[in-house]
Amino acid sequence: MVETLTVLGIESSCDDTAAAIVRVAGAEGAILSNIVEGQSTLHAPFGGVVPEIAARAHAERVDHCVEAALKDAKLDLRDIDLIAVTSGPGLIGGVLSGVMCAQGVAAGAGLPLIGVNHLEGHALTPRLTDSLPTPYLLRLVSGGHCQLIEVKAPGAYRRLGGSIDDAPGEAFDKIAKHLGLGYPGGPEVEREAKKGDEARFAFPRPLLDRPGCDMSFSGLKTAVRRESDKLVAAQGGVTKQDRADLCAGFQIAVADALTEKTRRAMAQLLDEHGWAEGERRLAVAGGVAANQTIRGSLEAAADDLGFSFTAPPLRLCTDNAAMIAWAGAERWRLGDRPGDIAARPRWPLDELAAPLVGGGRKGPRA
Ligand code: KG4
Ligand code: ZN
């Protein structure tokens, strides 16, 4: 008989407070509820996430999210078999809010509790949404993360590359702020870019001249700022068309850099494993994967190399607790059993990979 697990997931590592219930039976997962309370309006005046504000909002809202997730699923705690909570990596104040709430609920209800790596949540999402078999290559691109991960099997990961400074979403947000656009910046920049000429400014494609799959977005961000400052100095401001052209030039530079490094990672895996056509899989996750230009460019590269392309629906690409519940269930099946949960600001999925440099506005890199 297939074991069925009903899992409550809790997520609070960045700027979304989330709780979800997922019922897992064999390789199938059904999302019974998925509550995500974003904090965009709280952080918008600052053009980015303010850790202290995030932590306080998580502490205030996380238990309400748990209640709402149970209510939406028409369940109560007696129906839950397991609680899974993000215990890192992320902004430590937020992670602690989620962990303390989960510990309280678990102790009160006498339920087992597992600490989940947030990156593992993203990495395993294509298995929840598309029952994607392993192995596959995951291209994670969000406001806090930028990694290329070989998912060999649940629990077995190899990092092939990452950003040595900003994450791409962070660069989108900073460019938007500089150009007077709203927060979060990604969708705003994409909207502007549609009206712009991507060829007017020749922005750099960072690190393409170096071997390997690591990336950098800090220099590109500075190049865009410099061009916009030049326009201000020369003509007293930036016109609507200038702004659209700057956004289009920036977006295509990010798309080119991300795609070329993903292409290299796919080529490396082909070289190492000699995967046949049906075994080549690329999946994406993270808010930046919502960008049509970036998504299209990654999909075309996958197609070129004979890789299938899996992109979970947007609400499961961005931060959510259903992915944490699912990853908790996968870990449970691997034999993980509750132990002491330590909240970890830094927690690489691939413990053997050299640490990536850069603190980052959204907390330390994994
Ligand atoms: O995965 P996510 O919801 O949260 C984390 O950062 O973990 O990603 C949010 C990031 C933000 O930086 C946002 O600006 C970016 O994803 N983003 C986009 C787009 N939609 C969201 N970036 C580029 N184009 C978009 N359409
Ligand atoms: Zn995330």
Protein residues whose CB sits closer than 6 Å to any atom of ligand 1: 14, 142-144, 169-170, 172-173, 184-187, 190, 286-288, 290-291, 318-319
φ/ψ of residue 176, rounded to 5 = -60, -45
Share of the chain above pLDDT 70, in %: 97
For the stretch 119-133, pLDDT in tens is 999 999 999 999 999
pLDDT-derived band of residue 54, with 50, 70 and 90 as boundaries? confident
User: Backbone dihedral region of 273: left (phi > 0), alpha (psi from -120 to 50 degrees) or beta?
Assistant: alpha
Q: Of 120, 129, 140, which Cα lies nearest the Cα of 294?
A: 140
Per-residue pLDDT, 357: 57
pLDDT at residue 149 above 50?
yes
Nearest atom (ligand 1) to Cα of 122: 1
**Ligand with smallest separation from the Cα of 173:** 1
Share of the chain above pLDDT 90, in %: 79
For the stretch 66-86, pLDDT in tens is 999 999 999 999 999 999 999
Q: Give me ligand 2 centre to Cα 225, in Å.
A: 26
Rg (CA), the chain: 20
Q: What is the pTM of this model?
A: 0.93
Q: Give me ligand 1 centre to Cα 142, in Å.
A: 5
pLDDT, mean of residues 34-48: 88
The residue with tokens 């008989």 is 1
pLDDT-derived band of residue 45, with 50, 70 and 90 as boundaries? confident
Give how far Cα 14 sits from Cα of 69, 263, 305, Å.
Answer: 19, 29, 34
Nearest atom (ligand 1) to Cα of 169: 12
pLDDT at residue 39 above 90?
no
Q: Among 75-84, 230-239, 332-341, name the one with the lowest average pLDDT.
A: 332-341
Angle (CA) 284 189 143, round 5°: 45
Best mutation site among 288, 294, 297, 298 for ligand 1, i.e. most ligand atoms within 8 A of its Cβ?
A: 288
DSSP for 136-171 reads EEEEEESSS-EEEEEEEETTEEEEEEEBSS--HHHH
pLDDT, mean of residues 32-60: 88
Q: How far apart are CA 297 and CA 241, in angstroms?
A: 24
Give how far Cα 311 sits from Cα of 10, 41, 298, Å.
Answer: 23, 27, 10
